[in-house]
Amino acid sequence: MNEPSAPADTPRLEVRQLTKRFGPVVAVDHVDLVVERGTVHSVVGENGAGKTTLMKCIAGLLPPDSGEILVDGKTVRIGTVHDALALGIGMVHQEFSIVGELTLAENLVLGVEPRHRGLLDRKAVQRATERLAAQTGWRLQWEAPADQVGVADLQRLELLRQLHRGADLLILDEPTAVLGPAEVDMLLGTVTELRDRGVTVLFISHKLDEVMRISDRVTVLRGGKVVETTAAADTSAAALAEAMVGEALTVPDVEDRPSSSDETILEVQDLVVVDEIGVTRVDHVDITVRRGEIVGVYGVAGSGQAELAAALVGLAPSSGSVRLGGQEINHRPVGYRRRAGMGFISPDRRSEGLALTESVEENGLAGAHRDRSLSGRVVRRRPEWRRRIADLIRSYSIKVGSPDDPTSSLSGGNQQRLVVGRELEMHPKLLVASDPTRGVDIEGVAGIHELLMGIRRSGGSVLLVSHDLDEVLSLSDRIAVMLDGRVTAVLDRAEATRSLIAEKMTTGSRG
C-alpha cells in the first residue's frame, strides 16, 4: 500500500468542480466531493445521475472536461487507469473480469505477473497471496480454478486484485447488483473489514439500505449535481430517497383528466421472474391497467421494474397470469403478444430498440412488418413500406436524410422518436414504455410525454416504467412502487407525494 505522504487529516481524495459533458448533455455538473482516509463514502443517485461517469473520471477511464482532482492534497492529472493505480486508486466494475480456467492465484496476478526467467514466478505469487491474507484476514482457495468458486469469493478476488496492484482507494461500482442476498451480506462485511484495515472505499449504489449499513458518509447526486453530503449517522434511507428524487420541478399537471374507464386492459396476477443465476427479480406481482389509464411503475433501479416490463412483453420467462383484454397471454411468444395489442418501448434503444446498422425504413416498420397492409403472405409491398415510413417520419418530425440511411446516422433523440412513433403507429391496446425518454434532450422529452398523453386521450393504456420520478408523477393516473421485486404500494395520483413514494421505495412492506 502507498505510504501516506500527507498528514492523516488530509482527505485521501478531493474533487473540485468536476464537469463532464457528452455532447449537449452535462453528465457531471461542477461536482465537489471530499473522501476522508479510511472511510466508506457512498455515492447514491438515480440511473443517469452521473455516478458512474464521475467515478470513471476519478479512475482514469474518462477525461473530465474541467475541474480538479486532488489526491492526498496534491492536484493530479489522471489520464489512464495506470495513472490512477499509481495514485493508489482502483475501480472494481460490476462485471467480473476473471478467467475461469485459471486458479484464483493466477487470476490475482493476471496482467502483472511476477516473472522469473520469463516464466511465472510461483513463489512470488505465493508471497503475494500470503501478504494479502495477512492484510485482510481472508482465506481463499488460491489453488482452485476460478470457475469452481462462488460468486462472493470472486468478488473478493476482484477487490484483492486491486489491493495487490497497490490500490488503497477502492471504487466499487454497484457491486451488489449481481449478487444474491446472502452474498450481498458477505460483500458488505468485506467492505467494512477493509475499511477497518485502513482502505478507503467509494461505494456506488442505488440500494439505500445497503448504503446505510456500511457508509460513514453519503453523497447524493441528482442530474449530475451534488444534492447533499451528510454523515450516514445523520440521515436515513427515506431521507436519502427524498434527496435522490428531489423537489418537484413543476406542479404535476392535473389538467383535464376524465376518469379512466372501468374496463381492465391488463391484468397481471402473481407474476414471478427468476433470472438466469436464480435470483428472483419479480416477486409475486399483481398489477392492473384500465382503459385510458397510464400506470407508472417506480422504484430505485434494480427493484425489478425492468424485468417486469420484459416479462410482460414476453422477453423474460415468467410464471403467473398476464391477461391482455381478457385474453391470457403469458407463455405466448412476443409476436403473439404484439398481435394481441401489446406495444413495447425498450429501455435499451441501441441494443434492443433498434438495429442500428439497418435502414430507418426497416427499423420504423419492424413489428408491423407482417401486417396485411404492408405485406402479402410472402412478399413485402415495398411501395407501401415507403409510403408508411414517409408518413411516420413526417408525423413524428424525425430528422433523417433518407429512409434508406442506416439508423445509426440519426441523433439519439431522433432514434427515440422513431422507436416511439413505430410503437404508436401499431395502435397498441397497451403500451409498455420502459424509460421512454432515456438519453433524449428536454425538448424531445416534452414531445414524447405529449405522445403518451395522446394515447391516454384516445383510450389507449400505458404501463410507464421509468427511473425519472418527475416523469412518472406528471403522467401517471396511478403509481405502483416497487422494492426488491415486490409492489409495495399502488398510489392514486392524488395521494402520490414524493415523500410517500420515497418511503414506499425504501421500506414498503418489508418484513
Partner 1 sequence: MTITDTEVTATPIASPAPTRRWRLWVAAAAPLIAALLVGSAAILWVGESPLEFFWLLVREAFGGVKRISATLVSSTPLILTGTATLIAFRAGVFNIGVEGSFVGGAFVAAIAGASLDLPGPIQIVVVLAIASIVGAAIGWGPGWLKARLDVDEVVVTLMGNFVVSGVVGWLLSEFFMAVGTGNAQTELIAPQTNLPVLVASTQLTIGILFAVVVVALAQWWLRSTVPGYELRMTGANPRFARAQGIDTARVIIWAMVISGLIGGLAGGVFTTGTLHRFVEGGGANLGFNGIAIALLARLNPIAIIPSAVVLGALSAAGPTVQLFIDVPLDIVRIMEGTIMIVAVLPLLTRSR
Provide, rounded to whole angstroms, the least separation between the CB of residue 186 and partner 1.
19
Rg (CA), the chain: 25
Provide, rounded to whole angstroms, the least separation between the CB of residue 328 and partner 1.
18
**Does the footprint of partner 1 cover residue 348 (CB under 8 A)?**
yes
Provide, rounded to whole angstroms, the least separation between the CB of residue 497 and partner 1.
26
As a dihedral over the C-alpha atoms of residue 142, residue 147, residue 153, residue 155, rounded to 10 degrees, the angle is 120
**Does the footprint of partner 1 cover residue 272 (CB under 8 A)?**
no
Which helix (H) or strand (E) is 17 found in, with range? strand 13-22
Q: Burial-class residue 241 by CB neighbours within 10 Å (0-12, 13-18, 19+).
A: buried
**Options 7, 23, 326, 511; binder of partner 1; rule CB under 8 A:** 23
d(C-alpha 419, C-alpha 347), whole Å: 11
**Options 4, 223, 325, 406; binder of partner 1; rule CB under 8 A:** 406
Nearest to 458 by CA among 253, 293, 344, 342: 293
Give the Cβ contact number of residue 136 at 10 Å: 18
Helical pair 237-245 and 498-506, crossing angle rounded to 10 deg: 130
Provide, rounded to whole angstroms, the least separation between the CB of residue 411 and partner 1.
5
Q: Which one of the spans 36-44, 230-238, 242-250, 313-321 is the region binding partner 1 (CB under 8 A)?
A: 313-321
**Does the footprint of partner 1 cover residue 247 (CB under 8 A)?**
no
d(C-alpha 52, C-alpha 177), whole Å: 14
Checking DSSP bridges between strand 13-22 and strand 478-483, what pairing results, if any? Answer: unpaired
**Which one, 122 or 350, has the nearer CB to partner 1?**
350
Site string for partner 1, 161-180 (x = CB under 8 A): ------------xx--xx--
**Does the footprint of partner 1 cover residue 280 (CB under 8 A)?**
no
Give the Cβ contact number of residue 133 at 10 Å: 14
**Does the footprint of partner 1 cover residue 183 (CB under 8 A)?**
no
**Does the footprint of partner 1 cover residue 409 (CB under 8 A)?**
yes
d(C-alpha 112, C-alpha 124), whole Å: 12
Q: Which one of the spans 65-73, 214-222, 274-282, 484-492 is the region binding partner 1 (CB under 8 A)?
A: 274-282
Beta-ladder partners of 173: 204
Kindly determine how many residues on this chain lie close enough to bind partner 1 according to the rule CB under 8 A. Answer: 66
Q: Which one of the spans 79-87, 151-159, 284-292, 361-369 is the region binding partner 1 (CB under 8 A)?
A: 361-369
**Does the footprint of partner 1 cover residue 302 (CB under 8 A)?**
yes
Q: Burial-class residue 264 by CB neighbours within 10 Å (0-12, 13-18, 19+).
A: middle
* Strands (E) located in 405-466: 430-434, 461-465
**Options 378, 443, 494, 511; binder of partner 1; rule CB under 8 A:** 378
- The answer to whether 230 and 218 have CB atoms below 8 angstroms apart is yes
d(C-alpha 247, C-alpha 251), whole Å: 10
Cell output for 290: 384500465
Provide, rounded to whole angstroms, the least separation between the CB of residue 372 and partner 1.
11
Q: Which residue has the cell 391496446?
A: 429
**Does the footprint of partner 1 cover residue 276 (CB under 8 A)?**
yes
Cell output for 187: 460483500
Long-range CB contacts for residues 118-127, cutoff 8 Å, separation at least 24 = none
Provide, rounded to whole angstroms, the least separation between the CB of residue 149 and partner 1.
20
Provide, rounded to whole angstroms, the least separation between the CB of residue 369 and partner 1.
6
**Does the footprint of partner 1 cover residue 358 (CB under 8 A)?**
yes
**Which one, 45 or 88, has the nearer CB to partner 1?**
45
Q: In the window 39-68, what residues touch partner 1 (CB under 8 A)?
A: 47-48, 51-53
Provide, rounded to whole angstroms, the least separation between the CB of residue 177 and partner 1.
6
**Which one, 379 or 494, has the nearer CB to partner 1?**
379
Give the Cβ contact number of residue 149 at 10 Å: 18
Q: List residues binding partner 1 (CB under 8 A).
A: 22-23, 25, 27, 47-48, 51-53, 94, 173-174, 177-178, 275-276, 281, 301-302, 306-307, 310, 313, 315-316, 333-339, 344, 346-348, 350-358, 362, 366-367, 369-370, 375, 377-380, 382, 401, 405-406, 408-409, 411-413, 438-439
